[in-house]
Amino acid sequence: MIEGKYECVDFRGFRAPFAESHILANIRRSPHGGWGSCGTNALQMLTGLRGKFIESKRPKTPQKHLRGYWTDHAVKNFLRPRGFKIGTVTKRNVTSVHKQGWFSWCDWNAPLGDQHVLLCGLLMQEHEASWVIIHNRKTYHNMEIEDLNPLLLFNRPSDNVYLLWHPKWMKEVK
């Protein structure tokens, strides 16, 4: 996770109480348990679009180590035109203190909670990251769902973490 700068960020506007029902519906609609790379599968779980279409939109790169992968920039450029609000989670914006004059205090209520959708670029091994969605104490990776392991972010440290929100996530899928 990047350092960032100390600033008070109101993460409440990113709460997505029904995102899980949408992600699960998108997984159910997905043929053959996903298509392509982990980035393509993450975008498919988030948007509900077909993997083949998503993969066709992945920018091609001359850099050998990035071929087949979705970069942070490409992921954000894919999601924003589709109505997603994206915030960057940094070490400092989740640990900012509140100040009033000479007095400052830390809000011990965690700024991020179960209703937030996090898209994490996790370092899996040297020179390889993987896109993982975290929401409601679950991880979503390559169309697989697991309970969130509390040690995940120690064993697979995050390179970048993005907070996502979409208006459709405010209503449950029937």
pLDDT at 72: 92
pLDDT digits (tens, 9 = 90+) for 91-115: 888 877 666 666 655 555 668 899 9
The answer to the question of residue 70 being in a domain is yes
pLDDT at 109: 63
Considering the chain, what percentage of its residues have pLDDT values greater than 70? 85
Q: Is 73 exposed, middle or buried (0-12, 13-18, 19+ CB in 10 A)?
A: exposed
- What residue numbers bound the domain in which 83 lies? 11-170
The answer to the question of residue 114 being in a domain is yes
The pTM is what? 0.87
The answer to the question of residue 6 being in a domain is no
The answer to the question of residue 22 being in a domain is yes
DSSP string over 11-51 = GGGG--TTHHHHHHHHHHHSGGG--SSHHHHHHHHHH---H
The answer to the question of residue 51 being in a domain is yes
pLDDT at 2: 81
The answer to the question of residue 53 being in a domain is yes
Q: Is 67 exposed, middle or buried (0-12, 13-18, 19+ CB in 10 A)?
A: exposed
User: Can you tell me the distance from the alpha carbon of 27 to that of 20, in angstroms, rounded to the nearest whole number?
Assistant: 11
The answer to the question of residue 137 being in a domain is yes
* Residue ranges for the chain with pLDDT beneath 50: none
Domain count, the chain: 1
The answer to the question of residue 98 being in a domain is yes
User: Can you tell me the distance from the alpha carbon of 7 to that of 111, in angstroms, rounded to the nearest whole number?
Assistant: 12
pLDDT at 128: 80
